[in-house]
Structure 1
Amino acid sequence: MAANRIDPAFWAGRRVFLTGHTGFKGSWLGIWLDMLGAQTTGYALPPERAEDMFAHLQLERALAGSLDHRIGDIGDFETLQEALRAARPEIVIHMAAQPLVRRSYREPLATFATNVMGTAHLLEAARHVPGIQAILLVTTDKCYENLEHELPYKEGDHLGGHDPYSASKAGSEIVGAAYRRSFLAEQGVMVATARAGNVIGGGDWSEDRLIPDAVRAWRDSETLVIRSPSATRPWQHVIEPLRGYLMLAEALCGAGGAAAAEAWNFGPQLDAVQPVRHVIEKMANRWGPMAAEMRGQGGEARWRAENELP
């Protein structure tokens, strides 16, 4: 990935199979692939909410010229395999996941089924589909064993996870490495994993995320309760990791693709690592104009730490 840019000529007419295309990052990536001229087959569950980006922007219709929109569960191996065979992709980008930490505590078995076995289903189906050049598995920076230190984790650090979500993503990484070494490398299919986290941007209405939670609370004239305002996070706008994913996919298909077939971290510069308080205060300062744009909806931008009295 020597050239720090995306090559539109590479993507023009390229057949891409994108799982999770109805999700937050998947919706953004579907739009970007359309702009690059790729022919994309999307495979995902329906959007959870009417305000989710894919539904709100009516992307099934807006991207109809470049996106074959397929509803399917990553846990349904036969349907997934049929969709892959029909798509005949050159590149597979796997973004379908159960991405929420707190939900993973409520639904641990479903989280492991989607994130670990879903990855295994995809790779098992893909190894029987000819013509695939590269597979990019999108995981998370939460896949590392949490040592509670401030230093950024490196790709060679130990995998782990105290919660079901993090552990399931570490499991997804292990599954990806096993399929790469056992089957796909010898078939000439390059497999890499992409690890990013704390991604923010328009169209994200997921539960238990800082900015969507703030908008919902202030829109409904409620006080936002924040668990750990002093905790620092490597915040990055959704466009940044997606740009990295596209560059990595290009590298996997290039002459030196084998060198890129490994795990990659995607994160911001160290000066973008800021506490939660920093982000929410910036948001609160801008809430007035935002509320005005929503035609008078919403009250004052109030928030407090979870351990503070109301």
Structure 2
Amino acid sequence: MILGESYSGRRVLVTGHTGFKGSWLSAWLLSLGADVCGYSQDIPTSPSLFELASLSNRLEHRIADIREIDAVRDAVMSFRPDFVFHLAAQPIVRTSYTDPLETITSNVVGTANLLEALRSVDWPVTAIIITSDKCYDNVEWVWGYRETDGLGGKDIYSGSKAAAEIVFKSYWHSFFGKPESKVRLATARAGNVIGGGDWAADRIVADCVRAWGRGERVQIRSPSATRPWQHVLEPLSGYLALGAHIARTGRADGESYNFGPRSEQNHTVVQLLGDLGRIWGFEGADQAYEITGNVPFHEAGLLKLNCDKALLELGWEANLSYEECMSMTGLWYKQVLKDGVAAGELMFDQIAEYERIAAERGRVWTQA
């Protein structure tokens, strides 16, 4: 498998490794045989997938702020990674309204700090900077956004992700896009990721599980909002495939890529809740949720990505159907919270199952 060949025995630095996506990425890298160093400010949620899966026992676990340049530089220079995946960020839209400065410094200055630290390396490194689909100037059109479309944002969170993309591009042109540079890097954009083990605030699946666990109906603000829902392993497969592609070929350096599901996987919040509720055991929607109509901050009604570039240049495409995405997500919570299955065991089992499905469907990154 391309991913196994690329990451087995390699040193991989993951910033934001204690978060939802960071935990899944760290676990996948460990299953591929990588030597992983994680760098995060804290354990961001309680409960925490990172802690439930006991990942700190299987990797180098660093607690430090991405906004501290000396700490970032020390992590890079002492660990000497072959690959870097930068996920450390303030990820919640609501928090960008209550604490805009934290959002800007974490997402923009934090990205600049990592890029600045990478300027000092004198060995080959491939770095993937993960931003968000919300980096685009969303005009609510029906077409998927392409990597060449305009950046922007009507809220601080979106603006911070667009700014991080601009910082990346300016650093690449100024320092890394030179023949003598040892660093190759690209950005990856994805959004609306769901999956087992997410307990972050203002995330629809996490909100459901918290409410249902208390015997309550979940309150939803925007029932008709449409999103291209995808399982967390989908974009992670893209990030890993992109890193492997750059390291093997030298191509895609300085580029940006969208990773998202097929267009037919766009579903409303109500549809998602109905499907998730049935897996949890509800017989009807009236047991699962209630609509509040309270929208305390701006939220996009429609946002989807065009992923043709990833398909044409990397051979990457989404692996799961909407039904498979919902099944893996809902069953994880049900089996862990209701049936007592060990979170870490189920996490690695689902990674193996995802790889098996991808191999059966001939995904490029599963090939030798």
Q: TM-score, normalised by structure 2?
A: 0.76
Tell me, yes or no, if the aligned pair for 2:18 and 2:44 is still in contact at 8 Å.
Answer: no
- 5 Å-filtered alignment, 1:169-248, equals 169-186=161-178, 187-248=181-242
Question: 1:287 aligned to 2:273?
Answer: no
- Give CA-to-partner distance per residue, 1:84-121, whole Å, 9 cap, x none: 11011111110001011111111100000000000000
Tell me the secondary structure at the aligned position of residue 50 of structure 2. Answer: helix
Partner of 2:92: 100
Q: Which of these residues, 251, 260, 264, is aligned with residue 267 of structure 1? A: 260
Deviation of residue 73 (structure 1)? 0.5
Task: Output the CA distance in 1 between the equivalents of 2:38 and 2:157.
Answer: 24
Task: Output the CA distance in 1 between the equivalents of 2:158 and 2:260.
Answer: 17
Tell me, yes or no, if the aligned pair for 2:152 and 2:158 is still in contact at 8 Å.
Answer: yes
Partner of 1:41: 37
Deviation of residue 288 (structure 1)? 2.3
- Give CA-to-partner distance per residue, 1:44-93, whole Å, 9 cap, x none: 122123311001222112x1xxx211111001111111111101111111
Amino acid at match of 1:243: S
Tell me the secondary structure at the aligned position of residue 259 of structure 1. Answer: coil
Task: Output the CA distance in 2 between the equivalents of 1:55 and 1:259.
Answer: 35
Task: Output the CA distance in 2 between the equivalents of 1:131 and 1:211.
Answer: 41
Question: 1:152 aligned to 2:129?
Answer: no
Q: Which of these residues, 21, 28, 31, is aligned with residue 25 of structure 1? A: 21
Partner of 2:291: 305
Deviation of residue 260 (structure 1)? 4.6
Partner of 1:164: 156
Partner of 1:277: 270
Tell me, yes or no, if the aligned pair for 1:248 and 1:260 is still in contact at 8 Å.
Answer: no
Query: Structure 2 stretches of 5 or more lacking a match?
Result: 295-368
Task: Output the CA distance in 2 between the equivalents of 1:6 and 1:47.
Answer: 32
Tell me, yes or no, if the aligned pair for 2:122 and 2:182 is still in contact at 8 Å.
Answer: no
Aligned length: 290
Amino acid at match of 2:210: R
Q: Which of these residues, 52, 64, 68, is aligned with residue 60 of structure 2? A: 68
Task: Output the CA distance in 1 between the equivalents of 2:248 and 2:5.
Answer: 13
Tell me the secondary structure at the aligned position of residue 230 of structure 1. Answer: coil
Tell me the secondary structure at the aligned position of residue 18 of structure 1. Answer: strand
Amino acid at match of 2:88: A
Query: Structure 1 stretches of 5 or more lacking a match?
Result: 290-299
Partner of 2:348: none
Task: Output the CA distance in 1 between the equivalents of 2:124 and 2:89.
Answer: 21
Tell me the secondary structure at the aligned position of residue 149 of structure 1. Answer: coil
Tell me, yes or no, if the aligned pair for 1:252 and 1:261 is still in contact at 8 Å.
Answer: no
Task: Output the CA distance in 1 between the equivalents of 2:35 and 2:100.
Answer: 35
Amino acid at match of 2:95: R
Tell me the secondary structure at the aligned position of residue 84 of structure 2. Answer: strand
Partner of 2:8: 12
Task: Output the CA distance in 1 between the equivalents of 2:191 and 2:258.
Answer: 9
Amino acid at match of 2:142: E
Amino acid at match of 1:86: S
Tell me the secondary structure at the aligned position of residue 233 of structure 1. Answer: strand
Tell me, yes or no, if the aligned pair for 1:88 and 1:132 is still in contact at 8 Å.
Answer: no
Deviation of residue 6 (structure 1)? 3.7
Partner of 1:295: none
- Give CA-to-partner distance per residue, 1:220-274, whole Å, 9 cap, x none: 122321111111101000011001100000111122x233530100000011111
Alpha-carbon distance change, 301 to 131 in structure 1, aligned in 2, over 3 angstroms? farther
Task: Output the CA distance in 2 between the equivalents of 1:274 and 1:288.
Answer: 21
Structure 1 stretches of 4+ with a deviation exceeding 4 A read none
Tell me the secondary structure at the aligned position of residue 31 of structure 2. Answer: helix
- Give CA-to-partner distance per residue, 1:161-202, whole Å, 9 cap, x none: 001100000000001111111101211421100000000001
Task: Output the CA distance in 1 between the equivalents of 2:36 and 2:287.
Answer: 40
Task: Output the CA distance in 1 between the equivalents of 2:252 and 2:293.
Answer: 48
Tell me, yes or no, if the aligned pair for 1:92 and 1:132 is still in contact at 8 Å.
Answer: no
Q: Which moved more, 1:154-163 or 1:183-192?
A: 183-192
For CA contacts below 8 A with separation 6 or more, give which structure has more relative contact order.
2
Amino acid at match of 1:304: E
Amino acid at match of 1:137: I
Task: Output the CA distance in 1 between the equivalents of 2:208 and 2:23.
Answer: 22
Tell me the secondary structure at the aligned position of residue 252 of structure 2. Answer: helix
Amino acid at match of 2:97: Y
